Structure 1
Amino acid sequence: MLTEVDSMPCNNEHDAKFDKTLISISLIFVFATIAMLMAFPESSQEVAKNMFQGLTNNIGSLVQLFAFVIVCSIVYVAMSKYGDIKLGDGAPEYTNSSWLFMFICAGLGSATMYWAFMEWAYYYNGLGLNIDAQTNEALRTSLSYVMFHWGITPWAIYALASVAMAYHFHVNRAKGLNLSSLMVSVLNMKEDSTASKVLGRALDLVFLFATFGGLILTTTVTVNTVSTGFSELFDFQNSFLFEVVLLALITLTFTLSSYIGISEGLQKIAHAACGMCFVFAMVVLLLGDTTFIIDYVVNSLGLTLSNFVEMSLFTDVTNNGTFNKDWTVFYWLYWLTYCPGVAIFVTRISKGRSIRQVVFGLIAGGCAGCWFFFGALTGYSVDMFNSGIINAPDLLNTATGDLAVAQLLANLPFGTLLSVFYFLLMMVFLASHLDAIAYTVAAVSTKNMKQGEDPARPLRIFWCVMLSLLPLAMLYIDASLDTLKTAVTLTAAPFILVLVLCLFGLKKFLANHKFEK
């Protein structure tokens, strides 16, 4: 690192250090951004919209092509002889179910629950593949694009970064569990050189900024949905103060979980979040028109798989369409903001597992969880629209998506009870997700963290509080979806290069791997 850091005890370790410079620069960034948003809310959002359009127009097609290459590459690695490589000694630390639940909570935000009800409505109002908006074909195809955006490609992106990081940490015995250590190794730089220190500091800063960018969208959408839902449910005026109270409760929950630690805290809250999600999706499936939902999901799954290549590379260039830039490119960049954090977290909990287990665990486990949850909630929402009961696409245009979610929940049998359950579940899911992210951020800002060790509790708690501040500013200015998208894309863009290096680095690691005879 560029400057000396103070030595402080870190849980099980005695030689770990807090990186005060890294933490200080991050705090300056956070508070400067908050000040700008609150002082100039309207102009900030206009600038954000222009930046989003400029970025996606310039690099959108390359992002789509690279994501497709990642899918092909990581699946090949998992199916080859390299899939047998074991990441670390000994047996896996966590059971299969705990392992799956924890990385699903790390890789998915609670905003997933909003998108599960409403994403199809955005697509129905303007879909890709040259399908006319607000037609029966658009309705038939909407869920297939939802499954595409929450399916194979994003989980393959996670898998590439996770395998590269896990190999570097568990097989190459890296000294630190952070992105800079991996990149220095990939580029064959000397660890103590000035160049490697500068690169390491820059990467760690970009990682922290990207983490904040991704959480802005997830946390803001979640709190907006929950606050609107409770105000509709119990008939009171929604307000910024109420949103602050909700965010404070969520922060308190994941801070306590982070203080307890992974085994006693995060593992249990991840079990609770995933278990509650499964129960809720199953209840919606059974209380809704079960036959319609299942038929719609099966049909959509077929469309997703049969059109996967076209969806991956569709740019609509001759028609001047923007769907791929507004949604596909945005989503790949959205997932990229979480990629380094997820890779660090998956590395931490995957010791003793093979590359094949990590790749197919992430892709198969992630897709199965997302497709079941989205299928049940989207299928119910589409059925309500198709039956003329609740017009979610129209509410999206004339009111808000949050209001549509509240009405969809209220229309279910035992609507009040299920609404409360749903909103509490969103809060638990967000707490679980933020807990995992706070761990990875603390790990990055800790020097010399070794295998089996965790960042210091005070540092984890500190980041728990910091991670809630930027979303609070977005709630204050009532940021639009375009503004939230910009926060994601701008902070994710630098990680395209990082992911390219992960791909080449993994190729180098595997080419030099010595198999036991």
Structure 2
Amino acid sequence: MHTSKQGRRDIPLAVVSLLIVFALVFVMIAMPNQSVAVANQLMYWCTTVFASPILLFAFFAVLFVIWLGLSKYGQIRLGEGGPDYSTSTWIFMFIMSGLGSSTLYWGFLDWAYYYQTPGLNLPAASPQALKYSVAYSFFHSGLSAWAIYALGAVAMCYHFHVRKNKGLSLAAIIGAITGRKPDGALGRLVDLLFMLCMFGALTISLVLTAITFARLLSMLTGIPDSFTTQLIIILAVSVLFTLSSWVGMDGGMKRLSQMVCWGVVVLAGYIYLLGPTQFITSNTLSSLGLMLSSFVDMSLFTDPMGDGKFTREWTVFYWLWWISYAPGVALFVTRVSRGRTIREVLLAMVMGGCAGIWCVYGVLESYSVHSFINGLINVPQVLSEQGGEVAIGQLLDLLPAGRWVMAFFLAVMAIFLAAHMDAVGYAVSATCTRHLAEGEDPSPIDRLFWCVMLTLVPLAMIFAKAPLNTMKTTVIVTAIPFALITLVMVYGLLKWLREDYGDVPAHQIGEQPPPEVASHQSGS
């Protein structure tokens, strides 16, 4: 891989997106109460009006991914030559792109929210609600979520590696499908929405991680939980991910991803072996079975006889959240997946992503549930009255050598955040580099610039104590057009598959490019 020329920088896109982002931050700081009111109204409207279409979109994503993976098109190789990375490293890298460091926060606490506000019209704080709590966590971070990621990722991979279209951005692939120029009004708008969404999503993840980290660090060492502490944490993580980005994908992101994933495995393994092993095993299996057996019901639960609050505030919100991240994940997965087949990408993303998060969540959440039902820590009460960070600290402190486990947890969380920021930084810098071709990366200077910019917004939010939910609304609102963009990408993918491989027998796919693809590449 070599870096792009500096002359390809999309300076107008960078300037406009930064002006809008900082203007939004200024408004949130200057008018916090009004910002929250507007954000709440927008959130309610989006999750109410688009509830049924978004539920159908996520359900469709699962069905489409299963069909595509089992079809003859699954054998198509995405680019020439062998894979650039080993399978484990490859899976680790795009898991880091799709999961923020706040995953570790939710890993202990997600079930407690569903216990207090359960779905399927179950009574709150009941045995049934507790039974479904971890199952709902598996559902919201499972098949539908990773299938949503896979839709855009496969389409982008095909656009970039098989069709050899230049430009690793949403505007580029939409332009290739519709025939419109990526630099036109539509392309500008699509990429601008992407930039705003990436800033918002990363800000939420970074701020939540910094708050959690500072609170746990205070519990561990007695260091005051202050803005200065949070500032030092963010700057330290930013230096780490900036160095990683500067070194490049092979030397930086690759190593960070390996460190994080093995760190999470060690943490989960320690809790599994030294915690309530039998309960963790049985509760994880029971929750997995309950989620799978109730999958259709959970997926299409619109609550027409009730107020639809759970569907609106949880399932629809989650699907919009995953959709908002999907374009960035698609860009990153495309960068690291040359030489893989479509089936490998789908299996690794959906099965690999689900298996990883179910195993980790199963251990962390089941340990948390066990502590609750045995009267050791009332996790839902601590969560409501003192905050999730305190609940996590108390849960970690219960373990053998709890203080050391807490220190290890903090280290993993910091590296997790750095790896995720690196992936987002790559996607943003790639979008702001015009006509990026296969074999090219954005220049180190551009990646460094966006590392700095992606750090400034969260710092401003924390310093001014701006309402984080307002930024969350920004992300969710931009997710709605991304759902339409993803459908256009799926349409383009199906169109290309039919044109390029529709008449090719299944046993010949993968041996060599068919005439249609070869002629297209030679003419591009």
TM-score by length of structure 2 reads: 0.93
The yes-or-no answer on 1:96 pairing with 2:87 is yes
CA 1:438–1:448 in 2, change beyond 3 Å: closer, same or farther? same
Residue in 2 that maps onto 1:254 = 241
Residues 429-455 of structure 1: CA deviation (Å, up to 9, x unaligned): 010000011011101100121111110
Residue in 1 that maps onto 2:312 = 325
- Within the candidate set 320, 333, 343, 2:330 is matched to 343
Residues 39-69 of structure 1: CA deviation (Å, up to 9, x unaligned): 2223222322222112111112210111101
- Within the candidate set 209, 218, 222, 1:222 is matched to 209
Residues 131-171 of structure 1: CA deviation (Å, up to 9, x unaligned): 11101111111000000011111111111101100101111
The yes-or-no answer on 1:270 pairing with 2:261 is no
Report the number of matched residues: 504
- The alpha carbon displacement at 1:397 in A equals 1.6
- The alpha carbon displacement at 1:224 in A equals 1.1
- Whether the 8 Å contact between 1:78 and 1:356 is mirrored in structure 2 is yes
The yes-or-no answer on 1:434 pairing with 2:421 is yes
- Within the candidate set 58, 67, 73, 1:76 is matched to 67
Structure 2 residues not aligned, in runs of 5+:
509-513, 515-524
- The alpha carbon displacement at 1:399 in A equals 1.7
**1:26 alignment partner AA:** S
Residues 170-227 of structure 1: CA deviation (Å, up to 9, x unaligned): 11110111111111122233x48xxx61111111111111111211221121111111
Looking at structure 1, the residues matched to 130 and 5 of structure 2 have their Cα atoms a distance apart, in angstroms, of 58
Residue in 1 that maps onto 2:519 = none
Q: How does 1:49-128 map to 2 (within 5 A)?
A: 49-128=40-119
Looking at structure 2, the residues matched to 482 and 201 of structure 1 have their Cα atoms a distance apart, in angstroms, of 27
Structure 1 residues not aligned, in runs of 5+:
1-9
- Whether the 8 Å contact between 1:217 and 1:488 is mirrored in structure 2 is no
Residue in 2 that maps onto 1:29 = 20
- Whether the 8 Å contact between 1:18 and 1:445 is mirrored in structure 2 is yes
RMSD: 1.6
- Whether the 8 Å contact between 2:29 and 2:466 is mirrored in structure 1 is no
Q: Secondary structure at the match of 1:87?
A: coil
**1:67 alignment partner AA:** A
The yes-or-no answer on 1:463 pairing with 2:454 is no
Looking at structure 2, the residues matched to 14 and 104 of structure 1 have their Cα atoms a distance apart, in angstroms, of 29
Q: Secondary structure at the match of 1:173?
A: coil
Residues 476-508 of structure 1: CA deviation (Å, up to 9, x unaligned): 354566445323312322201111112211111
Residues 248-289 of structure 1: CA deviation (Å, up to 9, x unaligned): 111111000000000011100110011101110111111210
- Whether the 8 Å contact between 1:37 and 1:477 is mirrored in structure 2 is no
Identity of aligned residues (%): 43
Residue in 2 that maps onto 1:6 = none
Looking at structure 1, the residues matched to 388 and 407 of structure 2 have their Cα atoms a distance apart, in angstroms, of 18
- Whether the 8 Å contact between 2:100 and 2:417 is mirrored in structure 1 is yes
Residue in 2 that maps onto 1:378 = 365
Residue in 2 that maps onto 1:366 = 353
Looking at structure 1, the residues matched to 99 and 243 of structure 2 have their Cα atoms a distance apart, in angstroms, of 20
- Whether the 8 Å contact between 1:438 and 1:463 is mirrored in structure 2 is yes
Q: Secondary structure at the match of 1:47?
A: helix
- Whether the 8 Å contact between 1:16 and 1:448 is mirrored in structure 2 is no
- Whether the 8 Å contact between 1:216 and 1:487 is mirrored in structure 2 is no
Residue in 2 that maps onto 1:498 = 485
The yes-or-no answer on 1:357 pairing with 2:348 is no
CA 1:61–1:377 in 2, change beyond 3 Å: closer, same or farther? same
The yes-or-no answer on 1:303 pairing with 2:290 is yes
Residue in 2 that maps onto 1:178 = 169
Looking at structure 1, the residues matched to 421 and 398 of structure 2 have their Cα atoms a distance apart, in angstroms, of 31
The yes-or-no answer on 1:162 pairing with 2:153 is yes
**1:53 alignment partner AA:** Y
**1:102 alignment partner AA:** M
- Whether the 8 Å contact between 1:38 and 1:476 is mirrored in structure 2 is no
